[in-house]
Amino acid sequence: MNRRLIGAVGALAASTLVLAACGSSSSSSPTTSSASAAAASAGATAGSGGASSASGGASSASGGASSAAGGGTTGPIVVGSANFDESVILMYIYADALKAKGVDATVKPKIGSREVYIPALKDGSIDLIPEYSGTLLAYFDKTSTAASSADIYKALPAVVGPAGMTVLEQSEAQDKDSIAVTADTAKKYNLKTIGDLASHASSMVLGAAPEFKTRADGVPGLDKTYGVKFGTFKTLDAGGKLSVTALKNGQVDAADLFTTDPSIPENGFVVLQDPKNLYTAQNVLPLIATKKVTPLITKTLNAVSAKLDTATLTALDKQEYGGTDAEKVAQDWLKAQGLS
């Protein structure tokens, strides 16, 4: 499976979700209105007592995550994923961990990009999705300068809360976007950092997902932060097989790949250093509709986050990349961690 689908699939998914939202929505599940209002006003939720970030992060006392105790009833919950395989693995981890605790959880994989699944969370087509802290913050606040795990996590409540969403505890696991080139290209142009591309990019082709062309940390960010302006943009998938194949075969000179992608070491690709932090901390965390937050769901998902780190995430990706079904990867890991 490729890590993300091409934009056309995302668009199709978007239209499907809109139609689904017009019919029935998981938001009809009973909730406790007072708890929902409290969670929405507080913003992000962590575990009982307001847990801190896995990376030394923000506590509820400092305006970061707040306690989720007293949320809605544990009714049916739909867990979605973005359109790449790591997100699918995490979706199954969340869903199966919840099922093990008696929660009626179903899945809706590969919905599309953030531009598709955030509206799906708002309209109730899905209730929960694995997210990445830095890009989530950038989606809601394009002016934010937060870069560290702790600062990003602390800033999230104020931006996701008004949208009716809550972030639970973040994990230590991170997966960032990166600009990758082949070893030959790196040697040819003596490339070590993204900024080294500035004097060569005008004659080069960049491959990435369609949304990368307009995102703040995509094409505009490369120009603003490093003065890198690629001569051609080739629409591919987001770090998936299309991007990997195009980079490997010389159809593009550089590609947006994810740092936990097993194809990077397998193909000897060179990830260019990012000294100016265009790509901020990207801790994996659950993003949930506030009205779906309950103590049981919070405790269960926070326990998952406590077990996830970058090495673990990379290993899970490698299993799926090697041909193991994403749900089996998730189930095996949950069992090994005593979470199922």
Q: Any residues with CB less than 8 A from the CB of 132 and at least 6 apart, and which?
A: 174, 175, 282, 283, 284, 285
Query: What is the spatial distance between Cα 42 and Cα 57, in angstroms, rounded to a whole number?
Result: 17
> What's the pLDDT at 1?
41
Please, what is the end-to-end C-alpha distance for the chain in angstroms?
A: 25
From CA 271, how far away is CA 258, in angstroms rounded? 9
pLDDT of residue 53: 37
Residues with Cβ within 8 Å of 156's Cβ and at least 6 positions away in sequence, in order, are: 43, 44, 64, 133, 136, 137, 167
Tokens (6 digits) for 171: 């994990």
Question: What is residue 73's predicted lDDT score, i.e. its pLDDT?
Answer: 55
- Average pLDDT along the chain, 340 residues, taken 10 residues at a time: 39 39 35 34 37 36 37 78 96 99 98 95 98 96 94 98 98 97 98 98 97 93 98 93 96 97 95 96 98 97 98 96 96 98
**Per-residue pLDDT, 134:** 96
DSSP of 188-220:
HHT--BGGGGTTTGGG-EEEE-GGGGTSTTSHH
What pLDDT, on the 0 to 100 scale, is given for residue 156?
Answer: 99
Compute the distance between CA of residue 110 and CA of residue 191 in angstroms, rounded to an integer.
34
Alpha carbons 272 and 148: distance in angstroms, whole number: 19
Nearest to 215 by CA among 150, 280, 121: 280
The number of residues making up the chain comes to 340
**168 in Cβ contact with 45 (< 8 Å):** yes
Coil, strand or helix: which one is 138?
helix
Phi/psi zone of residue 110: left (φ > 0), alpha (ψ -120 to 50 degrees), beta? left
Q: Which residue is associated with the tokens 């406790």?
A: 32
* Contacts of 97-103 spanning 24+ positions with Cβ under 8 A: 97/300, 97/301, 97/303, 97/304, 97/334, 97/339, 97/340, 98/297, 98/300, 98/301, 100/300, 100/334, 100/339, 100/340, 101/296, 101/300, 102/74, 103/74, 103/77, 103/296, 103/297, 103/300
Q: Which residue has the tokens 């194809």?
A: 263
Contact 85, 324 (CB under 8 A): no
| Domain architecture of the chain: domains with CATH | 7-174+281-336 (3.40.190.10), 177-271 (3.40.190.120)
- Which 8-state DSSP code applies to residue 265? H
304, 338 contact by CB (below 8 A): no
| Secondary structure element (H or E) that encloses residue 307, with its range | helix 295-307
Amino acid at residue number 318: K
Sole residue written with tokens 């790196």: 186
Separation CA 239–CA 208 (nearest Å): 7
